[in-house]
Amino acid sequence: MNSIDEKLQPVLNTVIHRNAGELEFHQAVREVLESLGRVISKRPEFAEDALIERICEPERQIIFRVPWIDDQGDVQINRGFRVHFNSALGPYKGGLRFHPSVNIGIIKFLGFEQIFKNALTGLPIGGGKGGSDFDPKGRSDGEIMRFCQSFMIELHRHIGEYTDVPAGDIGVGGREIGYMFGMYKRLTNRYEAAVLTGKGLSYGGSRARTEATGFGSAYFVERMLGTRATSFDGKRCVVSGSGNVAIYAMQKILAFGGVIAACSDSDGYVVDEAGIDLALVKEIKEVRRGRISEYARVKGAGCHYIKGGSIWDVPCDVAMPSATQNELTGHDAKTLIANGVIAVGEGANMPCTPDAVQIFRNSGVLFAPGKAANAGGVATSALEMQQNASRDSWSFEETEQRLATIMHNIHDACAETAKEYGAPGDYVLGANISGFVRVAEAMRALGVV
């Protein structure tokens, strides 16, 4: 199941050689290539004209200096990135991540995943990603604004409604998008709403975009549970993280009748035997921008905070890793299975290590890969672009309904493709093949570019 076709091994070798040290990028490419052996035996035309080699090589990579002045008056320097990975299906589309761990390898892994994710949505968006090693933690609002403005002074020449449309990711939410849009508007003297998504409702944003990634991942998992004639109703769930994706995944799981046993941030996790109180998590994270440890301090009895440690030690029926890459290891996968987990849905990008993914796939646990399960965010970004293009604004209900339909379609396409390629129930294979075929068909039609 996880070996590479001999025709594709040289492609991986070249990627590793050409992108030395970019381990997360190698990991993302390897996982997709492992799925493609079955495609090229059925459709050999996709192995022609170095198509797969071209998919693994970004169309363009931009790295730039971001100077800004902190509250003490000192000059700070960060590094900015934007990778234009693949534009066969539409303008480059993908988020911006501000986190100290960001480097070119991280941005390339995310950009590569984004190509197939965006293809899965069925909407006209290519794949890209960007960000900075800037650490927003502990920074004042003024510092965040000055950083975003400086970042956009350089980025603006590389983006545009028909070129590249960034959005949020870790460390980038509505506040940051607002500051970046303001500077883009000033620099270009254009009210080009669809140049960024995740905007506020007062200046061209879409209803339900904030909720979309988390809601979408819950919709996907609910449908996946349906294939085993079950649902979230009454299930005990663990969701890692307490950021944008985690919060709205928890909200929709609660609406589906599930109970949230635990959530986390990068310092530790909280377990609440009464079920996580989402209003309190939102108050701590969205309003106070505080730490999840405060949750246990406020709640007291029946609730405990574990600094460090692994949230995957908490027994659950459904696990939704929704924080960051490689946060759930093979050891964690074994613990979850021993504790009776029945489904795992990746809210984050590549949160499960390759051995964890393999353990889940071999064990018969339902496993939803990130590029399918978290595609609701970028799909709703594409709906935001549609609303901007038609100068329209849809209701929350209409937008959410479209999101739900898109997630159900992605689920069904992954399930059907897995069956067609001889691996029923294997959503990893289904997502990789189904996304790849859509991009590959367009790339063939466009010639060698």
Q: Which amino acid is at 305?
A: Y
131 forms part of the interface with ligand NDP (CB under 6 A): no
Nearest position to ligand NDP, beta carbon? 243
Which entry of ligand NDP, ligand 2IT, none binds 94, CB below 5 to 8 A by partner kind?
ligand 2IT
Instruction: Write the binding mask 249 to 288 for ligand NDP: x where contact by CB under 6 A, - elsewhere.
Output: ----------------xxx---------------------
Fill in the per-residue mask, 289 to 328: x = in contact with ligand NDP (CB under 6 A), - = not in contact. Answer: ---------------------------------xxx--x-
- Report if residue 213 touches ligand NDP, rule: CB under 6 A: yes
User: At its nearest, how many Å lie between ligand NDP and the CB of residue 266?
Assistant: 3
Contacts of 349 (CB under 8 A, 6+ apart): 109, 110, 113, 325, 370, 371, 374
Directed axis angle between helix 330-338 and helix 354-363, to 10°? Answer: 30
Alpha carbon distance 328, 235 (integer Å): 20
Residue matched to tokens 């294997």: 426
Residue among 19, 35, 210, 349 that touches ligand 2IT (CB under 6 A) = 349
- Residue 196 found at the interface with ligand NDP (CB under 6 A): no
User: In Å, what is the CA distance from 386 to each residue of 129, 195, 201?
Assistant: 20, 12, 15
Interface stretch with ligand NDP, choices 239-247, 357-365, 382-390, 431-439 (CB under 6 A)? 239-247
Residue 284 or 423 having the CB closest to ligand NDP: 284
- N- to C-terminal Cα distance for the chain? 32
Asked if 374 touches ligand NDP (CB under 6 A), the answer is yes
Q: Whose Cβ is closer to ligand NDP: residue 58's or residue 168's?
A: 168
Burial class (CB in 10 A: 0-12, 13-18, 19+), 45: exposed
Site string for ligand 2IT, 102-141 (x = CB under 6 A): ------------x--x------------------------
Name which position in 22, 34, 143, 169 contacts ligand 2IT (CB under 6 A).
Answer: 169
3-state SS string over 214-228? HHHHHHHHHHHHHCC
**For ligand 2IT, what does the binding mask look like between residues 197 and 216, x meaning CB under 6 A?**
x-------------------
**Of the listed pieces 8-16, 31-39, 237-245, 297-305, which binds ligand NDP according to CB under 6 A?**
237-245
We find the least distance from the C-beta atom of residue 292 to ligand NDP, in angstroms, to be 7
Residue nearest to ligand 2IT (CB): 95
Place of tokens 């609406």: 255
CB of 155 to ligand 2IT, least distance (A): 14
Burial class (CB in 10 A: 0-12, 13-18, 19+), 199: buried
Catalytic option among 129, 235, 252, 371: 129
Q: Which of 152, 167, 323, 356 binds ligand 2IT (CB under 6 A)?
A: 167
Burial tier of 1 (Cβ tally within 10 Å: 0-12, 13-18, 19+) = exposed
Four-residue CA torsion sign, 284, 200, 409, 44: negative
What is the DSSP track for 15-35?
HHHHTTT-HHHHHHHHHHHHH
- Which residues make Cβ contacts (< 8 Å) with residue 251, sequence separation at least 6? 211, 214, 215, 278
Q: Which is nearer to ligand 2IT, 93 or 411 (CB)?
A: 93
Residues 6+ apart with CB under 8 A from 290: 284
Q: In Å, how far are 216, 442, 443 from 90, measured between CA atoms?
A: 22, 10, 11
Q: Are 36 and 432 in contact (CB under 8 A)?
A: yes
Task: Give the count of residues interacting with ligand 2IT (CB under 6 A).
Answer: 12
- Closest separation in Å from C-beta 378 to ligand NDP: 6
Among residues 80, 127, 168, 435, which is the contact residue for ligand NDP, using CB under 6 A? 168
Q: How near is the Cβ of 304 to ligand 2IT at its closest, in Å? A: 32
Active site residue 419: no
Instruction: Identify what 324 binds: ligand NDP, ligand 2IT, none; CB under 5 to 8 Å per kind.
Output: ligand NDP
Which tokens in the block code for residue 219? Answer: 């919709």
Reduced to 3 states (helix: H, G, I; strand: E, B; else coil), residue 98 is strand
Residues in contact with 50: Cβ distance below 8 Å, sequence separation at least 6, in sequence order: 448
CA torsion 15→21→22→23, rounded to 10°? 100
Among the listed residues 206, 349, 353, 434, the single contact to ligand NDP using CB under 6 A: 349
Binding-site ranges for ligand 2IT (CB under 6 A): 93-95, 114, 117, 167, 169, 197, 349, 377-378, 381
Q: Can you give the binding site for ligand NDP, defined by CB under 6 A? A: 95, 99, 101, 168-171, 213, 241-246, 265-267, 322-324, 327, 347-349, 374, 377
Residues annotated as catalytic (active site), given as ranges: 129
